[in-house]
């Protein structure tokens, strides 16, 4: 991203404070990173590309309160943070929205594909729309043209701001946050928390759901399947 005014608007959208722990995923060459420096208490960078991170480390070696992590952000436990400001690698936008359901945070300010926001906003009903409705408040801030990048991407982008909903725990929140588990195992945990024995929980699941649905991982369920499960157990 090379549009300086846009980069400044992205930072402004996060309303950063001195006490914030800021997470940036996919800093790349560091154009956004350099505007985030000293905006909060600390800055954490997660970059998958080893060479990009090496160059960024060298360039910012005099900076304090900055942590460099060479990793795929979707494959490891995230460090504690309260705000994330990131121009995300587009292939990990959806996985990260599932992952963020397990974290407590104040604000996510993210650059994502513009078409992706149509799913989030529910122009076409989808699992992502349901995920947003269950966990997040979403604001569409602005559309970003291809010309804001060098090299230019194939798709238009968008700037969004996400905050976590402050709602009481319910079945769907507990269920979807276990996205990497099999359906039957996630529901078993929920039912046992409510006082059922393991045997009682498994029996209820067996009576309520067809075997093929029980064995599917939550993150592979269709919107219709999630709604079917919700109707049985909410």
Write out the chain's pLDDT in tens, 234 residues: 999 999 999 999 999 999 999 999 999 999 999 999 999 999 999 999 999 999 999 999 999 999 999 999 999 999 999 999 999 999 999 999 999 999 999 999 999 999 999 999 988 889 999 999 999 999 999 999 999 999 998 999 999 999 999 877 799 999 999 999 999 999 999 999 999 999 999 999 999 999 999 999 999 999 999 999 999 998
For residue 2, report the phi and psi dihedrals to the nearest 5 degrees. -120, -5
How many CA atoms, within 13 angstroms, populate the side-chain half-sphere of residue 34?
11
Span(s) in the chain for CATH 3.40.50.150:
4-164
Whole-number Å distance between alpha carbons of 192 and 105? 28
How many CA atoms, within 13 angstroms, populate the side-chain half-sphere of residue 113?
13
Q: In the chain, what is the greatest distance between 2 CA atoms, to the nearest angstrom?
A: 62
188: left (phi over 0), alpha (psi -120 to 50) or beta: alpha
Architecture of domain 4-164: 3-Layer(aba) Sandwich (3.40)
The β-bridge relationship of strands 136-144 and 157-164 is antiparallel
Whole-number Å distance between alpha carbons of 81 and 103? 9
**Taking the CB of residue 165, how many other CB atoms lie within 10 A of it?**
12
Whether the Cβ atoms of residue 230 and residue 170 lie closer than 8 Å to each other: no
């Amino acid at each position: 991203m090379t549009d300086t005014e846009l980069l400044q608007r992205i930072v402004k959208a996060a309303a950063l404070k001195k006490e914030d722990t800021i997470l940036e995923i996919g800093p790349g060459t560091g154009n956004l990173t350099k505007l985030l420096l000293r905006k909060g208490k600390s800055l954490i960078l997660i970059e998958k590309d080893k060479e990009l991170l090496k160059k960024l480390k060298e360039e910012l070696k005099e900076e304090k309160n900055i942590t460099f992590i060479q990793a795929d952000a979707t494959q490891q436990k995230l460090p504690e943070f309260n705000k994330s400001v990131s121009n995300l690698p587009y292939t990990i936008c959806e996985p990260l929205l599932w992952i963020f359901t397990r974290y407590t945070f104040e604000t996510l300010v993210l650059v994502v594909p513009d078409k992706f926001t149509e799913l989030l906003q529910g122009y076409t009903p989808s699992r992502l729309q349901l995920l947003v409705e269950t966990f997040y408040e979403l604001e569409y801030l602005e559309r970003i043209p291809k010309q804001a990048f060098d090299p230019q991407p194939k798709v238009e982008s968008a700037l969004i701001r996400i905050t976590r909903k402050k709602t009481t725990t319910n079945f769907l929140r507990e269920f979807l946050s276990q996205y990497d588990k099999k359906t039957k195992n996630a529901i078993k945990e929920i039912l046992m928390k409510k006082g059922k024995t393991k045997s009682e929980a498994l029996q209820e699941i067996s009576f309520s759901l067809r075997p093929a649905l029980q064995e599917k991982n939550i993150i592979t369920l269709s919107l219709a399947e999630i709604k079917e499960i919700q109707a049985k157990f909410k």
